Amino acid sequence: MNIEITGMQAVVDRLDPREMLSRVARGMDKGNQLTLSYIQRNKLSQKGATTLAVRSNRGRSSSRASLAVIRGDGVESTMGTNVPYMAVHEFGCKPFTIRARNGKALRWGNASGVHFARTVRHPGFPARRMFASGIEECAEIYNRKIGEELTK
């Protein structure tokens, strides 16, 4: 996501470019923490089409934002989790086949009893975009926090 700062030309003109980028990085770090809290509370804890109802706290508690880094004439930061299955929920996946590897059949149980099969066709997942949509929904937070740092 790119954020364009507007309406602050007079402030930006008075700052050294490196100082400006340093202030943008500080504002981004503050915005990241507020956005991460929003994502954990609204996207990783509630059940819905674009959210992930928590069965365990692993995905939510492992969510992190990196510190903002100045690269050239821009500032970069990342947000996400190191839990492998969370990528499937964020980006979705196409249907695929699950095959028995260690035995002759797969075994699972549900309310109708115990079932066996050599293969099972998984329907896939739609992309829920919990992090991406959360960041987009919090764009105003970034504008406010970066603006506060630039006007200090």
**49 backbone dihedrals φ, ψ, rounded to 5°:** -65, -35
Dist. CA 25–CA 141, nearest whole Å? 14
31 SS3 class: helix
Confidence tier at 73 by pLDDT (50, 70, 90): confident
Q: Record the pTM.
A: 0.77
The more confident residue out of 2 and 114 is 114
According to DSSP, the β-strands at 74-76 and 106-110 are unpaired
pLDDT of residue 45: 83
Dist. CA 80–CA 90, nearest whole Å? 10
**100 backbone dihedrals φ, ψ, rounded to 5°:** -65, 135
Dist. CA 2–CA 107, nearest whole Å? 47
27 φ/ψ sector (left φ>0, alpha ψ -120 to 50, else beta): alpha
Confidence tier at 11 by pLDDT (50, 70, 90): low
Tens digit of each residue's pLDDT (9 = 90 or more) over 82-141: 998 889 889 999 999 999 988 889 998 999 999 999 999 999 988 889 899 999 999 999
The more confident residue out of 55 and 67 is 67
Mean pLDDT of the chain: 87
Dist. CA 40–CA 60, nearest whole Å? 6
pLDDT of residue 18: 85
